[in-house]
Amino acid sequence: MTREAPLTVAVIGAGIVGLCAALEVQRAGHRVVIVEPDEPGGRQAASYGNGTWINPAAILPISLPGLWRRVPGFLLDPTGPFVIRWRDLPRLAGWLLRFVAAGRNWALVGACARGRYLLCKDTVDEHLAYAREAGVPGLIRRDGLMYVYRGRDEFLAERRVWDMRRDFGVRFSEIEAGELRRLQPELSTEYGFGARLDDAGQITDPGAYCGALARLLVARGARRVIARATGFDIAAGRLRAVRTDGGPVACDRAVIAAGIGSALLACAAGDAVPLISERGYHVVIPDPGLDIATGLMPSDGQMGVVSTPQGLRLAGQVELADVSAPPDWRRAEILLGYARKMFPGRAARFDAKPVDRWLGHRPSTPDGLPCIGPASATPDIVHCFGHAHTGLTQAPASGRLVAALVAGDVPPFDPSPFSATRFAR
């Protein structure tokens, strides 16, 4: 449906998901107001500190069949790649039950993968187009990404996951030990096999990229409101304004893309969404003495290892805990330990200078899918949150879907798997 008069659309949140939604809404001819209390792409945002990957292969949820057997280990091992803090277990228990149930069989995993594939498949091309428009194409690298294993047997243990990726058309190459040494000469010989995602890439500085997209929006007429959204003014089922701590923002439509803060806003819009923080850490080692053209993920560490303008970044792993819980900087030391293990020839250099440590809150639903779609209180409010650790990858397609839903146009793909009402069933 094409409207003669443009709508005024308030986009709540200026992380990568909110910025892509705002760009697509603006591209459709509507007036955009960005409601965000902090600097777009600043250190407070999950978008700032992620692993930089834009990955068409990110179609699998974390919860897979048999995961329930490992939950005790998540509680008992504070050094593993997936950790649950004991003191937060009572509050997390309901979410964890849904999380395990979501991956209890491969049919459910396949259904989730079909939804995620729609959000992931064109991500590199879409981000490159945005970067060119924003004048920062150099922030996009298209050199692939690689999972590295200690041997082929570890790769074969994950064969079903890789076969599923191939079934969806994801291209990857199997890299034997000799070729791995040639491609990554600094990598420890402990790693003897790789699976390279040939069409994947990275955004080398996500914070700078978000800043560039925000400036592009403003240059094209968007208005920024530096305030925190607190709720909505809804009358007779129609949205009149977004309430903020700086006063109301009048608008015809609103998009909730506030990251971990989205759950309270969704509740105000009529939807109770089980959203928790998948707390992610990173360390950046300045002047590491090496450049990794292809981002890596070691099978034993489960974190992204990438070169950025600031240095070598190791980012990822999962810590489930309350948003208010203090950081556990042992997680950063674990990441540093993997840096030394992966690149033993550079270990002394890694320890020569202080590293940058960061913690961010990745908004996660239990079933591996974000919430994208109209709110229950009014179709004038559209959800767009809950992308967990793949927000960078899924943001462009999410933005295109949001723009269609905001205007009442035909969506680019079926939005029903992402409806927030699935949690009310």
d(CA 163, CA 317): 24
Domain count, the chain: 1
The edge-to-edge listing of strands for the beta sheet with 229-235 is 229-235, 238-244, 249-250
Q: Annotate 270-333 with DSSP letters as a single string.
A: T-----EEEEEEEEEESS-S---SSEEEETTT-EEEEEETTEEEEEEEEEE--TTSPP-THHHH
Please name which of 20, 190, 211 lies closest in space to residue 119, comparing C-alpha atoms: 20
Name the residue range of residue 389's domain: 1-55+104-137+200-273+367-425
> Residue 70: inside a domain, yes or no?
no
Q: Annotate 10-47 with DSSP letters as a single string.
A: EEE--SHHHHHHHHHHHHTT-EEEEE-SS-TT-TTSHH
Quick one: pLDDT at residue 2?
47
> Residue 119: inside a domain, yes or no?
yes
> Residue 330: inside a domain, yes or no?
no
> Residue 328: inside a domain, yes or no?
no
Mean pLDDT by 10 residues, the chain (425 residues): 78 98 98 97 92 96 86 72 85 93 96 97 98 98 96 96 97 97 95 97 97 98 98 97 98 98 98 96 95 92 94 90 91 93 95 93 97 98 97 98 97 97 90
Say which DSSP state 143 is in.
S
- Count, in order, helices (H) and strands (E) of the chain: 14, 21
> Residue 117: inside a domain, yes or no?
yes
> Residue 27: inside a domain, yes or no?
yes
Quick one: pLDDT at residue 105?
96
Q: Measured between alpha carbons, how far is residue 405 from residues 5, 76, 384, 393 in Å?
A: 16, 44, 11, 20
d(CA 143, CA 272): 41
CA-angle at 213, arms to 250 and 364, nearest 5°: 75
CATH number at residue 221: 3.50.50.60
| 150 token code pair | 């200690």
Beta carbons of 44 and 227 less than 8 angstroms apart:
no
